[in-house]
Amino acid sequence: KCVIAYPEKCIFCGQCELRCPDNAIYIAGGKKDE
């Protein structure tokens, strides 16, 4: 999954491909909820 990391929040893309934006972090499965 592709996660766009922000200073305070992480916004999850619905379905991201292997290529993530520069401001995104590619993570193996799983959800982070903070």
Angle, vertex CA 29, rays to CA 7 and CA 10, nearest 5: 15
The pLDDT of residue 12: 53
The pLDDT of residue 6: 52
From CA 10, how far away is CA 27, in angstroms rounded? 12
Which CB contacts under 8 angstroms, 24+ apart, belong to 10-16?
10/34
> pLDDT band at residue 31, thresholds of 50, 70 and 90?
low
Q: In what order do the strands lie in the sheet with 10-12?
A: 10-12, 2-5, 24-26
More confident residue, 2 or 28: 2
Q: In terms of residue numbers, what domain contains 26?
A: 1-33
Beta strands in the chain (DSSP E): 2-5, 10-12, 24-26
The pLDDT of residue 34: 46
Q: What is the domain count for the chain?
A: 1
pLDDT exceeds 60 at position 24: yes
pLDDT exceeds 60 at position 28: no
